[in-house]
Amino acid sequence: MLDNFGAFLRQERRYSEHTARSYTTDVRAAMAYATEHGRESPERWTTDLLRGHLARCRRPDGSRLSAASLARKQSALRTFFGWLKRQHPDVGDPTAALRAPKIAKPLPRALDADAVMAMLQPPQGNDIKALRDHAALLLLYGLGLRVSEVASLLDVDLDLARHVARVQGKGSKQRDVPIPAGCIPALAAYRALRPATAGTRFLVGQNDGGLATRTIARMVDGAALRALGRHASPHQLRHSFATHLLAGGANLREIQTLLGHENLSTTQRYTKVGIDRLFAIYDKAHPRA
């Protein structure tokens, strides 16, 4: 059976030899587990059986598999049952109820402080669009907001007198974020020139409506190309905000609150970035490196 499955992967799916071998190995391991539990035939496999198998999967050193490795094994099993149902349409698919593991997206590369400062050079004059774009950059880096939070920010959410922004985060959860003193003049300058007919959003575009996240992303990329000669994203500015805070001595709980992370584990991903940076400094400057 596995030989035929492997041939299907190579010939019909056009999978590489490495991927085809990995998938057949994953299915073979599931077969061995099922046989131990008296369900040798895949037609008798259940979702609970597969959950038990996946829970038992380990690395050679006995440690737990990463989410990406578990996702690969689930993909192999789903592909196998998709192939099996083509041969036997009445066969059930126990993989349909499996919950895919959540794979964390890789963090973007943080910009160094000089690069960020180059992007944040204030515009000359009173061009409303230039002032608006500068304000957006400050909200992304100065406050560490998500691009969706910047786009949805209301004018009434910014209390410049108290240096506080009320932010609507993920899951409609609100948090108060301090506005650095250095950001206040630029935000106030833009606010003073906002059209009287503007809607409730702080950042407005054509027809006085709010800015779309993709518009903000294009603006950030354009600012990076002009200042640095390379691309950048809104999330890269938010990531740089957190990385620079960590390097400056802020603790993870403080950064978690500012970023609006529900779980500390999400914020802890920045510690690796901080450690990598320390190693780079050590290798470059330490006399015993």
Using pLDDT thresholds of 50, 70 and 90, give the confidence band for residue 193.
very high
pLDDT in tens, 55-71: 888 887 778 878 888 88
Whether residues 151 and 275 fall in one domain: yes
Structural domain that includes position 190: 113-285
Whether residues 124 and 215 fall in one domain: yes
* Type of residue found at 213: T
Whether residues 74 and 121 fall in one domain: no
Sheet bearing 174-178, strands edge to edge: 158-159, 164-168, 174-178
Whether residues 205 and 264 fall in one domain: yes
Report helix, strand or coil for 176. Answer: strand
- 211-229 b/e with 16+ CB inside 10 Å = b? bebebbbebbbebbeebee
If we measure between CA atoms, which residue out of 53, 44, 60, 45 comes closest to residue 74?
A: 53
Domain count, the chain: 2
Residues labelled as active-site residues: 146, 170, 235, 238, 261, 270
Whether residues 129 and 39 fall in one domain: no
Instruction: State how far the Cα of 285 lies from the Cα of 277, in Å rounded to an integer.
Output: 12
pLDDT in tens, 6-19: 999 998 888 888 88
Q: Which residues pair with 158 in a beta bridge?
A: 165
In a domain, 107, yes or no: no
In a domain, 108, yes or no: no
pLDDT for residue 272: 59
pLDDT in tens, 103-130: 666 667 889 999 999 999 999 888 999 9
Whether residues 27 and 135 fall in one domain: no
pLDDT in tens, 229-283: 999 999 999 999 988 888 888 888 888 888 888 777 667 676 655 545 545 544 5
Whether residues 128 and 201 fall in one domain: yes
